[in-house]
Structure 1
Amino acid sequence: MNPKEFFKFCDEHDVKQFDMKFCDIFGTWQHCTYPLDTLDEGVFEDGLGFDGSSIRGWQAINESDMIAIPDPSTARIDPFFALPTVSVIADIFDPITKQPYNKDPRGVAKRGVEYLKSTGIADTCFVGPEPEFFMFDDIRYHSSQRGAMYEIDSSEAAWNTGRSEVTGNLGHKVGYKAGYFPVSPSDSLGDIRGEMVEAMRALGIVVEAHHHEVGTAGQCEIDMKFEDLLTMSDQFMWYKYVIKNVAKKHGKTATFMPKPVFEDNGSGMHTHMSFWKDGNTLMAGDGYAGMSEQALHAIGGILKHGRALIALSNPTINSYHRLVPGYEAPVTLAMSQRNRSASCRIPMYSASPKAKRVEFRTPDPSACGYLSFTALMMAMIDGVQNKIDPGEPLDRDIYDMTPEELAETNVAPTSLGEALEALEADHDFLTAGEVFSEDLLNSFIAFKRENEIDEVRLRPHPFEFDLYYNI
């Protein structure tokens, strides 16, 4: 869709308002809305000004002016405005140099795709994430000098089997770790997920399946068909937006927080990656698990840089409450076919060469897709370029390994601070081709340390009162 076609599209849909959206470095959509009749085709060349100092991790106040240039090819009718509204995703530019802004996550993804093509390794990187999320009926949280608390609730939760309910407690709760694929009435969220799916399909997103997930208290998953990296990064923003808004419409609240429920599974975002060239997969071959030598080298790149990657794919303090043994989250940086306790799994569902891919199981949906997917691709490129050996596969259950055996394996960071240190020490593979800038990475690391790690470290945890109050 070019600018002329865009305005024709708006006429056909009787659009009244234009909503411009862009993404900050932490994966949150920002937006500003304009009456459509105040704009013309020049907006796609001149852009729209805004205050970059008010966006987390971006500009200082003395150099705050930024330009957002909408991409007309991303235009979609927004399903959540009362007035007919078209939403368009924008790229961010410096108003002085007219160059793409080096902290714009969408710009990172676009540079990453161009870099992949320039290497000659492949012309397309396909991405297929599996984001999980929770839908709760109620969420309350508070933190102050006087105290701190959180409390969640869900009509599906196992802890509510003894609760008195207005309509009578009918049972049908989802047991702990028993939420994978139950039918209704235990799965009470099927119709809401169905509405989410239809909203995504109306936006052009191809959805393959939806189902309840393992966790009690309304854990769900909706799977999108794989797409090229930039398309999927855009779709992931729509995915979160749709899920949160449809949940709210039904009086529920959806969260992509990785570990909101104690002693139950957290929400991951297993990410399937594959390289293609001239319409053909580069992943299939006669190596381990039917993979090509290039694919195995790509896995080697993921494993070599895994600890640094995890700072971007698991970017919250809460992420590391999920990355613990025993809850289906991989903590060992190893390769395996079928074994879901390894960080790099090679799915064996299909014998078709086109289905060959690597599934990186460590990420979670708190990540910014533009940054997480691009970083993963950059690690794969580095693996291919340097012929990195992924090592021997680990086809046993990693959770049954002894501490001595685990000590000999490469493991994921156990905290956000540890992951950020790994990213500081190992990021040359990200800055290759100027895909990621040092400025972006430094801003990301500094913000996380100052506004998350330090803030949490300053506060006593409620469980500390159980442990220490009476010492």
Structure 2
Amino acid sequence: MQDVIEFIQAEEVRYLDIRFSDIFGAEHALTVPARLLSEETAIEGFAFDGSSIPGFATVDKSDMILVPDPLTAYVDPFREHKTINMQFFVRDPLSQTSYSRDPRSIAQNAQEYLKETGIADTCSIGAEAEFYVFDSVRYSSGVNHSFHHVDSDEGWWRSGEETMMDGSPNRGNQIRINDGYFPVAPYDKTIPVRDDIVYNLEQIGFEIERFHHEVATGGIQEVNYKYSDLLHAGDDMQAFKYIVRNTAEAHGQTATFMPKPLAGDGGSGMHAHQSLWKDGKPLFYDETGYAGLSDMARYYIGGLLKHAPAVLALTNPTVNSYRRLYSGFEAPVNLAYSQSNRSAAIRIPLTGDNPAAKRIEFRAPDPSANPYLAFTAQLMAGIDGIINRIEPGEPVDKDLYELEPEELKDIPRVPHSLEASLDALEKDHEFLTAGNVMSEDFLDAYARLKFDREIQPLRQGPSPKEFELYYNV
């Protein structure tokens, strides 16, 4: 903490933006003069009303405090006056104990539980959150209407328009459906905003590995950066989303991490690369194992596949998530594992003989997830697999999208809806409450809020597609 305080003084930082996340993954911020941060206030915490945060406390138990994590501090590149953004833990003001519904505390619990098991001391997570950059978006719903409309100058749907969105002539450089992987200008019209996203990420300390346009039309992007431990991988994802959204805004564009914003083209995933380490040594490598995997890695996969229906309630937590999870566009719907095979939910990347690079990639998650909860759920499923030596079965080294029905019938598939995933979570959640990582209270509140705020409202009104299908029946 002292380093941050000295930086604030030396660099004349004006404000401190106190960041924390609700259970859905939305960030909240409270700004205070930076001079108020001291060793004493860091211990005492900053007070706030927990009853005003979705899914947090009731009004009769609303007083809470926020305690800083100095490892997460960075200078905000968008504020006019110099401001440091920092992630905080939510604490009870009387006992100073962690709040059971604080996502960062849950992720910290998972890290501590991993150490307590003796299995490993670090879970490394490298997450690849795809996102769309659109030029405009409009949506509305009411008693007598509902619609959405997104637009992009590179969208294939604009190929027949006379002019571009700025009024200039259409020169015909649109990206075809499912044909947007690694295009160059002038087809890729998102190079300027993507370059600036990467520049801003590097300014706050991200180590960028690669960045490019993804497969779909209409502006889908991917920016890959260096992995971190589970807790700070969650922090990185929150900072990543903040930078992406605000850089797009500065360009007069809009970014979304919605899993499936376009019908008939690819969605946005958040592929999660993960591995376990102990005393600085990687634990997932064995040159004699399938794809170079150790027994531990195989059991980890077994746990993840066994608990996947419940895990998806936290890694794919929106109704829209399941618009992405159907066959086509490389959707990871088959609960199998395979080497270098993107049709399986778990892929083992080809990494050669380097033990430190050996990892697994869970391809089902999407970026609508709260990253702290999503990463925790995956780790906890993997730990359960290791403890109980859960075998994942034989790998499936075939294109699962092309299998005959007779072969495919024995391969489990992901749940078909958020409601189905929440049902699975209700029946299978003991692996999440092990070591008091997640509480029954938290899981009950999470499921109830998901049903009340998302599932139930979408049941109550018609969609435009239903008018197309049924108005004249």
Q: Which moved more, 1:255-264 or 1:177-186?
A: 177-186
Deviation at 1:265, TM superposition (A): 0.2
- Are the counterparts in 1 of residues 131 and 220 from structure 2 also a CA contact under 8 Å? yes
Per-residue deviation, residues 324-362 of structure 1 (Å, max 9, x unmatched) = 001211111111111111101101143322211110000
Structure 2: distance between partners of 1:85 and 1:42: 20
Hey, what does 1:342 align to over in structure 2?
344
Hey, what does 2:462 align to over in structure 1?
460
Hey, what does 1:408 align to over in structure 2?
410
Structure 2: distance between partners of 1:348 and 1:291: 11
- Name stretches of at least 5 consecutive residues in structure 2 with no aligned partner: none
Structure 2: distance between partners of 1:359 and 1:210: 18
1:56-455 correspondence to structure 2 within 5 Å:
56-165=54-163, 166-285=167-286, 286-455=288-457
What is the alpha-carbon root mean square deviation over aligned residues? Answer: 1.1
- Are the counterparts in 2 of residues 44 and 72 from structure 1 also a CA contact under 8 Å? no
Deviation at 1:39, TM superposition (A): 4.4
Per-residue deviation, residues 26-55 of structure 1 (Å, max 9, x unmatched) = 111100111223443322011111111111
- Are the counterparts in 2 of residues 317 and 416 from structure 1 also a CA contact under 8 Å? yes
- Are the counterparts in 2 of residues 335 and 345 from structure 1 also a CA contact under 8 Å? yes
Structure 1: distance between partners of 2:48 and 2:9: 27
Structure 2: distance between partners of 1:459 and 1:319: 19
Q: 2:4 aligns with which of 6, 14, 17?
A: 6
- Name stretches of at least 5 consecutive residues in structure 1 with no aligned partner: none
| Secondary structure of 1:236's aligned partner | helix
TM-score, normalised with respect to structure 1: 0.98
Structure 2: distance between partners of 1:156 and 1:370: 34
| Secondary structure of 1:42's aligned partner | helix
Per-residue deviation, residues 371-391 of structure 1 (Å, max 9, x unmatched) = 101110111111111110000
Per-residue deviation, residues 261-306 of structure 1 (Å, max 9, x unmatched) = 0000000011101011111111111111111111101100100101
Structure 2: distance between partners of 1:97 and 1:37: 26
Deviation at 1:170, TM superposition (A): 1.5
Structure 2: distance between partners of 1:320 and 1:142: 21
Structure 2: distance between partners of 1:50 and 1:404: 57
Structure 2: distance between partners of 1:225 and 1:164: 43
Q: Give, as a single letter, the amino acid of the residue that structure 2 aligns with 1:413.
A: P
Hey, what does 2:38 align to over in structure 1?
40
Q: Give, as a single letter, the amino acid of the residue that structure 1 aligns with 2:244.
A: I
Hey, what does 2:49 align to over in structure 1?
51
Structure 1: distance between partners of 2:350 and 2:36: 54
Deviation at 1:96, TM superposition (A): 2.6
Deviation at 1:74, TM superposition (A): 1.8
Structure 2: distance between partners of 1:218 and 1:467: 29
Structure 1: distance between partners of 2:358 and 2:86: 34
Structure 1: distance between partners of 2:307 and 2:139: 36
Is residue 24 of structure 2 the alignment partner of residue 23 of structure 1? no
- Are the counterparts in 2 of residues 208 and 225 from structure 1 also a CA contact under 8 Å? yes
Structure 1: distance between partners of 2:405 and 2:22: 40
Q: Give, as a single letter, the amino acid of the residue that structure 2 aligns with 1:43.
A: T
| Secondary structure of 1:343's aligned partner | strand
Structure 2: distance between partners of 1:218 and 1:141: 18
Q: Which moved more, 1:125-134 or 1:32-41?
A: 32-41
Structure 2: distance between partners of 1:290 and 1:39: 48
Q: Which moved more, 1:317-326 or 1:65-74?
A: 65-74
| Secondary structure of 2:200's aligned partner | helix
Structure 2: distance between partners of 1:156 and 1:297: 44
Structure 2: distance between partners of 1:54 and 1:392: 49
Per-residue deviation, residues 88-125 of structure 1 (Å, max 9, x unmatched) = 11100011322110110000111111111111111111
Structure 1: distance between partners of 2:347 and 2:37: 49
Q: Identity over aligned residues, as a percent?
A: 47
Structure 1: distance between partners of 2:149 and 2:466: 17
Q: Give, as a single letter, the amino acid of the residue that structure 1 aligns with 2:248.
A: A
Structure 2: distance between partners of 1:273 and 1:73: 21
Deviation at 1:404, TM superposition (A): 4.0
Structure 1: distance between partners of 2:221 and 2:407: 34
Structure 1: distance between partners of 2:63 and 2:364: 37
Per-residue deviation, residues 12-33 of structure 1 (Å, max 9, x unmatched) = 2211111100011111110011
Structure 1: distance between partners of 2:352 and 2:170: 43
- Are the counterparts in 2 of residues 43 and 70 from structure 1 also a CA contact under 8 Å? no
- The structure-2 alpha-carbon separation of the partners of 1:280 and 1:40, relative to structure 1 and needing over 3 Å to count, comes to closer
| Secondary structure of 2:310's aligned partner | helix
Q: Give, as a single letter, the amino acid of the residue that structure 2 aligns with 1:138.
A: S
| Secondary structure of 2:116's aligned partner | helix
